Structures are given as structure tokens and as C-alpha cells.
Structure 1
């Protein structure tokens, strides 16, 4: 089974804090880590960890951060041969502030991510066409359109892109086979409040499958006019980075293997539960066996 992820390639610097310092104040961090990041990168690493032949199409700067990123993904068994190296720009960088008991805060510099172009997608047409699944994550509309001209793909647009390009994203939804959103993204994109209403409105554009992640309220999938909803697994959250991306990777693998929609959601929930319970990094990504065990423990057969 071969998956191709398309999207951002970043280096994440995560700072874990008890509180945000006030103006002209200084505090000690609980921990500071540096790792490869970006939604597409997280998806690709998660896919590799659950036994999938994993590729990524993205753009990096020709700098030390880019070299760090490449080495990180290669260690995670992701094929990086199709990454573009852009001269004269820096690799994308994200500063993530994790405060105990609060949602994370992110400050980012897109850098070389802006250099990925429709022509780069066309140059990689053969890889895109040959994959079992192609997953687009936080890509600009022109990149999504270029991919969807080649084949059907799953798409996780992300809140930043929805806020910036909603009018351009909307006409493309019907060309994507599956759309992955969290609850806030679904509300912003559709203009509805109830998650089911959000999914129904998006489905009217022609999207075959809408999957909405709702955190502690679980997840749902709207497929062929039917709503499938699964409860979340209770968990003490350590780090939510990449949870939605492994959710998507596991859901797509399960769909490819012929699991029912409900079981796909349960497996994806199990994967993201394990992920958020651990500090971020490649080692925190669960294996397929761990995911199946978690599903069995919480949901039963």
C-alpha cells in the first residue's frame, strides 16, 4: 500500500510552559524540543509507522533546518526523493507554545513552503497517479486544484487555509474524495454550527466522504447520506501536535483494508488517543498493533 502526502514541510520548535510570561518577564521552560513538522509531514510519518510505503511532496530551503528535516523523515522511513529544494529561502519554521491546561499557540514562518507550485505537482504526476491514496494537508488552493486535475485525493485544508482561501476552496470540494476537518474548521467552512449539518452542506458540493474530528466529543463520518458517529476515548492530553494527521492516515488505511466506517473511526480515534497521550516525536507515533489493541480495549470487537 502506497500513500503520498502533499503539503507543508516545517521544523517545529516546541516550548512547554506552566504559564505565558508577562511583558518584560522571564520564566523557565519545562522543556524545549525540535522536530520535523507540518501536517503533510506528520501524515507521512504516521503512515510509515503503521506499515505503509510513504512518500511526501513538499518544499524545503537549502539550509541547516532543511537538512535536519530530511534526516528526520528518512529516519521515520518516509521517502523524501520528491521534495523540492528551493534556493534563497528558508525552510518553514513553527514555534509552538504548549501551556499546561491550555490549547497550544503557534507562530509560523512559511518560508520555502510558498515555493511549491502547480508545475512541481505536474512534474511528480507519475508518483501521484501510482499511489493508493494521495492526501493533501494545508495546501494552497492552486496546489489542491493541480492535484485534483490528476486524480481524486483526500484533503485536510486546515483552519489557516480556510480563513484565507475559503471562497477558492469551496468550488474544489466536490473533486476531493474525502475531506478531513476538525469541528471548528467544519463550522467555518460551511457556515453551519452542528457538525452533521456542516457535513451535509459540504456533501452537497459533491464530496463523497466528510470526516469531522471533534476532540473529546469523538468523531463522525458522513458517507452516502448516512452519519456514522463514534465516541472519543478518555485520555490525559500531553501534546496534541499531529493527532489529526495520524487520525487521517489510520482512517485511510482502514478504509483501504475494507473496514466498516464505524471501525475506521474507532481505529482513527484509538490512534489519535495514543498520540496525544505521549510527548511529540516519531517515537510517540503508535504502531498498527498498538492501535488495534487500544480499539479492542475501549470499543470491544
Structure 2
């Protein structure tokens, strides 16, 4: 049984700097980093690296960046037969500026236009399906085609046009930004009533299982009517790029392994914590052994 990831694949070029960005200035950066990125692609890479049979449905351009993404995924055994190479579009590209002082990042992304295409679905039904909101129609088709698969969405920001997707998945694993955009309530970890209010609103969107990630403040989830807080692991951030993607990839792995929800959140948190201490998105993904040793 396998994991199927559906969504975006991007090529990242990262520039670390300690300078404040000011218009009409020129900056020289000597230690740039390049690698594959995006939620579904990073999650697929992680699951492949960790030894799970994994497929990715996404799209890239028929160019050098697209070929490098395919090569990177194939290196860890990810099935890329359904990564569509667009003949008339360039691969989605992200320019990332990382603050070397605190590891925070700012991203400029040039996405591809999503056009209709019919993938060759996996021969064997997947055990877990991860979607990131891109390729909406294919994602919904997959959820309908494989109703027995456990599904989760990497929900970074709220988009009303994706409501059907948010409502359908078994696990809505969303960011604090998503939670605020949908609920209009600022979640304060020290004020339990705000957490309850946010979950009450989110349960109108998804009646199944909800997890909210809070960055350096950890994650919160509700199980059997009780809200639980899993604190983040202490880190010395170098680059936070891809930490959310990596959290969700490890979450998908935990679902595939049949772990308890609290253990999944703890495991995903540890994986993300290790990742922020390295540069890049995909290149910062730790090995399974490193995560297990860390825990």
C-alpha cells in the first residue's frame, strides 16, 4: 500500500542575507541554494526517502528546472509517471530570501497555469492521499476514486473555492494563518477559550479531524472532545522554508504507519524541527533514522 501526493512541484532558489531589503538596491549573495520545493513534491520526496512506495501527481515545465525536479524525485524512488511536463509552460519557480538572523523567509513564486489533464492512476489503491490544494479537480477525483484511503490536506491559506476539498478530507491539517482567515479569531495558546472558538468554527468546515500548526509554538489538535497542545521542539532556525511541507509529509507517513494522532503530531513536529536547522526545503528533509534518534 502506498502514499499518493497531489499538488504543486516548484524549483526553489534561496538567497540567505542579513540585509534589510530596500527598493532600487543591488545585493550580492555568494551562498545561494537550489533545490526542489512545494508542499506535495516535498511530502512525496520525504515519503520516498523514508522507504514508502509513493506517487506524485503534479506538473512541471519541459525545461531544465522540470527535469531536475523529476531527477530529484526519482532518486528516492518516487513514481513520477503522472508528473505532467507542460510543453508550453515554464516550471514553477520560487525566489526565496532567508533572514540569516532568525531563519524567516520571504517567497516570490511564479506558478504554472493549471490546465485539465487525466492522470494514469496508481494500479493499486493508495493507503494515504495527501493534497495541497493545487490540482483541485484531480484531488477531488482521487478522493472519490479511492474512498478507503486516509486523506489529509496541507492547508496553508484559506481559499473559498477549495471548500469542497477541505470538507472532504479525513484530516484538515492547517496553518494558524488558515485558521484565522477562516474563523476570524486569533488563536492564543495561553487562552483556551480562543482555541475552543477556533476549533468550533473549523468544525463547520470539516467535521472529521483537525490539526492546527503554530510554528514555534507547536501544534494543537482535538481528539475525543479534548484539545491537546504539542509544544514545538527547541531549535536554532537557519531556514524555515518547507517546514510546513515537511510536517505534512511526516504526518502522511505517520498515517501510513497507523500511528496514534498524538504520536503523529509529535513525530511530524520533530521532523520539521530538524528541517529548520538546515538550508533549503527539500534538501533539509532529515532521514527517518535522524528523526527517530532525535526523539
Structure 1 spans left out of the alignment, 5+ residues: 296-301
User: Aligned residue pairs: how many?
Assistant: 284
**1:110 maps onto 2:105 in alignment:** no
2:140 maps to which of 138, 145, 168: 145
Q: Verify the 8 A CA contact 1:3 1:135 in the aligned structure 2.
A: yes
Rounded to whole Å, the distance in 1 between the matches of 2:122 and 2:24 is 54
Q: Verify the 8 A CA contact 2:242 2:282 in the aligned structure 1.
A: no
How far apart are 1:136 and its partner, in Å? 0.4
How far apart are 1:183 and its partner, in Å? 0.9
Rounded to whole Å, the distance in 1 between the matches of 2:258 and 2:69 is 34
How far apart are 1:30 and its partner, in Å? 4.8
How far apart are 1:196 and its partner, in Å? 4.2
Task: Describe the SS at the equivalent of 2:262.
Answer: helix
Q: Which deviates the most, 210-219 or 102-111?
A: 102-111
Rounded to whole Å, the distance in 1 between the matches of 2:164 and 2:53 is 31
Q: Verify the 8 A CA contact 1:47 1:246 in the aligned structure 2.
A: no
Q: Verify the 8 A CA contact 1:208 1:223 in the aligned structure 2.
A: no
Which residue number in structure 2 is paired with residue 56 of structure 1? 56
Rounded to whole Å, the distance in 1 between the matches of 2:64 and 2:177 is 35
Note closer, same or farther for the CA distance 1:157–1:187 as it changes in structure 2 (3 Å cut).
Answer: same
Equivalent residues in 2 for 1:1-301 (5 A)? Answer: 1-101=1-101, 103-111=104-112, 114-115=114-115, 117=116, 119-120=117-118, 123-127=119-123, 130-139=125-134, 141-152=136-147, 153-159=151-157, 162=158, 166-194=159-187, 195-280=195-280, 282-295=282-295
Q: CA RMSD in A?
A: 2.2
How far apart are 1:255 and its partner, in Å? 3.1
Which residue number in structure 2 is paired with residue 299 of structure 1? none
Report the structure, 1 or 2, having the larger helix content: 1
Note closer, same or farther for the CA distance 1:270–1:177 as it changes in structure 2 (3 Å cut).
Answer: same
Note closer, same or farther for the CA distance 1:110–1:281 as it changes in structure 2 (3 Å cut).
Answer: closer
Rounded to whole Å, the distance in 2 between the matches of 1:172 and 1:71 is 30
TM-score by length of 1: 0.86
Rounded to whole Å, the distance in 2 between the matches of 1:252 and 1:196 is 25
Q: Which deviates the most, 7-16 or 259-268?
A: 259-268
Rounded to whole Å, the distance in 1 between the matches of 2:289 and 2:274 is 12
Rounded to whole Å, the distance in 1 between the matches of 2:259 and 2:229 is 15
Note closer, same or farther for the CA distance 1:141–1:74 as it changes in structure 2 (3 Å cut).
Answer: closer
Q: Verify the 8 A CA contact 1:173 1:207 in the aligned structure 2.
A: no
Q: Verify the 8 A CA contact 1:138 1:157 in the aligned structure 2.
A: yes
Structure 2 spans left out of the alignment, 5+ residues: 188-194
